[in-house]
Amino acid sequence: MPVPAIDAGVLERGGVRLAISGPLATITLDRPDVLNAQTPATWQALRHIGEQLDPDVRVVVVRGSGRAFSAGLDRRMFTGEPVDGEPGGLGALLSVPAAEADAKIASYQAAFTWLSDPARVTIAAVQGHAIGAGFQLALACDFRVLTEDAQFCMAETGLGLVPDLGGTLPLVRLVGYSRAAEMCVTSRRVPAAEALQIGLANSVVPADGLDAAVEALVAAVLKPVAGAVTETLGLIASAASGVSYQDQLALERAAQLRRLQSFAALSAQS
């Protein structure tokens, strides 16, 4: 069954706004009254955007409305109160067969994983708290620009849970096993200055400089030819996955030949 076209009403119900300007898409978590806490409706909206985003969009910026990026899961997910019209929150996963619960969590993960697709560059613009699911959403992006008051925290173990929205692999790739384990097990808060020092952040700016810093990064990302950026991101991702040196060399050769073939096709059309 085809996925319906993006509908603003669906996104608003999920507390998510989408704005597209040419090759740039800006996704805003828009529940500032609860510090952009996330629910299954948030993830449905994010997943839907990923499925339906126009291929001509080259850069996606993810940000939060108000004073926080995202404080993690909506508290109702832990209390058993109805969430998005469904009863039970996280506990409802125990009332269905294991395969169904697994599929449900996989659908939540899909809201995050499309952001790491090399088809486009993704940027997290982070102010204030990025906790739990908020931290994992920032980790799903290629780049992270932080304000000086930003804090990362993987809070799940403190709640008796585990990070399950795709954040553990990029965290280990960015900071290494020991640092990642310490952050996840202790649930301590990582301030922006430390995040920059250890490679979690690409840059840290004053709060009033976030928009300008993100705009400058978007402009820099859009300068190269789109196909070259996509191929390069794919190569970097394969290198980070631990392929052998010889396999990586082969991937580089294949990617370069595809770029040259693209140039040849353009010349033939002119």
How is 188-235 classified by DSSP, letter by letter?
--EEHHHHHHHTS-SEEE-GGGHHHHHHHHHHHHHSS-HHHHHHHHHH
User: Cα-atom radius of gyration of the chain, to the nearest Å?
Assistant: 19
Kindly report the length of the chain: 270
Q: Is the pLDDT of residue 77 over 90?
A: no
Phi, psi for residue 5 in degrees, rounded to 5: -65, 155
Which phi-psi region, left, alpha or beta, contains residue 248 (left: φ > 0; alpha: ψ -120 to 50)? alpha
Distance CA 131, CA 128 (A): 10
Distance CA 44, CA 5 (A): 13
Q: Is the pLDDT of residue 4 over 80?
A: no
Residue 1 confidence class, pLDDT cut points 50, 70, 90:
very low
On whether the CB atoms of residues 90 and 82 are closer than 8 A, the answer is no
pLDDT digits (tens, 9 = 90+) for 48-75: 999 999 999 999 999 999 999 999 998 8
Distance CA 231, CA 48 (A): 25
Mean pLDDT to the nearest integer, 192-199: 98
CA distance readout (Å), 172 to 157, 180, 183: 16, 5, 10
Distance CA 69, CA 28 (A): 9
pLDDT digits (tens, 9 = 90+) for 12-53: 657 999 999 999 999 999 999 999 999 999 999 999 999 999
Give me the chain's average pLDDT, please: 91
Q: What is the pLDDT of residue 3?
A: 38
Distance CA 107, CA 49 (A): 13
Instruction: Please list the helix, strand and coil fractions of the chain in percent, rounded to the nearest 5, in that order.
Output: 55, 15, 30
Which phi-psi region, left, alpha or beta, contains residue 3 (left: φ > 0; alpha: ψ -120 to 50)? beta
Q: What is the pLDDT of residue 11?
A: 52
* Range with the poorest average pLDDT among 11-25, 26-40, 105-119, 127-141: 11-25
H or E segment and range at residue 17: strand 16-21
Closest Cα to residue 223, out of 79, 98, 121, 154? 121
